[in-house]
Amino acid sequence: MKTSPNKIQVRARARGFTLAETAISLVLLALATGTVVTILQQQITQHKMAETDAILASARDALLSYETTYGYLPCPATAATNGQEAVTIAAGLRTCNVESGFLPAVTLGMPNLDPWGLLEGAWHDGSGSTNGTHLRAIRYSLASISGTAYAQALTRPGLGVLYSPTIRASVLTSLNANNGLFVCYSSNGILPTGSRCGPTASNTEAGNIAAIIWSLGYDAPYLSQYSSDEKQNEAQTVARVVVSHVYTPESAAGGPFDDQVVWIPFTSLSDRLVYGGFDQ
């Protein structure tokens, strides 16, 4: 029995319509999948950043607890000291070998460290510690105030030397003279001297502080992708300045920024000195 031409045309049209529907469905599925992946990536980023915030908070608490116990903050670590503070002690006087380095996590007795004794943020995937760079490791800067006041008030020279209100006042005076650390909203206009966030007061988030702790974020190992703000935080091209602002993606006008920053004002340290009985 022969099939009529009309039936053949109907079947052809039916097959063509089905193919069109399939194509549309695939496009919609691809769009939906892309949306789901994007949302999932955003949720992962938010979760990792929240986890890193908690790690930074625990690092700050560890530093304050250490200061309460010993009467001073530990010096930053270097790649060569494997999580121990890099310090020189001569005639009972403690001098930090570097002003900016890594958090001395071993000195602080912190858990969950990498094979080099360093504490990492939530993005610990093994990609940030190549060639001694340790780009995933938590960074730490301690204000390097020259002279006896710094040696006694931020890194106490010996167990027998106690703080005095005079020494604390001397350090505070030095900090107020722009000898402390600065957290700026942007690296644009930052200066190597004076008020380091630059002449625009609105660029200063925190000025003349004692210590800063920060993470270089997810993109830490990918130096070529850094924004100018991230480059400042990694290289400390302008000393004593760390940039902190809200997260921005790669598509942002100023480039990506996923660094996370916390800091310790000297007033917090001074309170701890009183609590620890170091003001006698």
pLDDT at 19: 74
Total number of domains in the chain:
1
Domain presence at residue 201: yes
Helix axes 266-275, 5-70, angle to 10 degrees: 50
pLDDT at 258: 95
* Structural domain span for residue 188: 5-275
Token duo for residue 172: 């505070």
Query: pTM of whole model > 0.95?
Result: no
pLDDT at 91: 72
Q: Please, what are the averages of pLDDT over each run of 10 residues along the chain (280 residues)?
A: 53 59 72 66 80 96 89 89 89 80 97 93 74 87 63 42 61 81 96 94 93 94 94 96 95 93 88 64
Domain presence at residue 44: yes
89: Cα separation from own chain's centroid: 29
pLDDT at 175: 79
Domain presence at residue 27: yes
Domain presence at residue 150: yes
Q: CA separation (Å) from 209 to 1, 27, 76, 241, 275?
A: 94, 54, 16, 11, 20
pLDDT at 39: 62
Domain presence at residue 280: no
pLDDT at 173: 78
Domain presence at residue 128: yes
Q: How many angstroms separate the CA atoms of 22 and 18, rounded? A: 6
pLDDT at 44: 74
* Phi, psi of 152, deg, nearest 5: -85, -35
Residue 77 contacts residue 85 (beta carbons within 8 Å): yes
Cβ-based neighbours of 258, under 8 Å, separated by 6 or more? 45, 49, 217, 218, 219, 230, 247, 248
Domain presence at residue 47: yes
Q: CA separation (Å) from 198 to 184, 235, 240?
A: 9, 19, 13
pLDDT at 3: 54
Domain presence at residue 13: yes
159-178: pLDDT as tens digits:
334 456 666 677 777 778 88
pLDDT at 245: 97
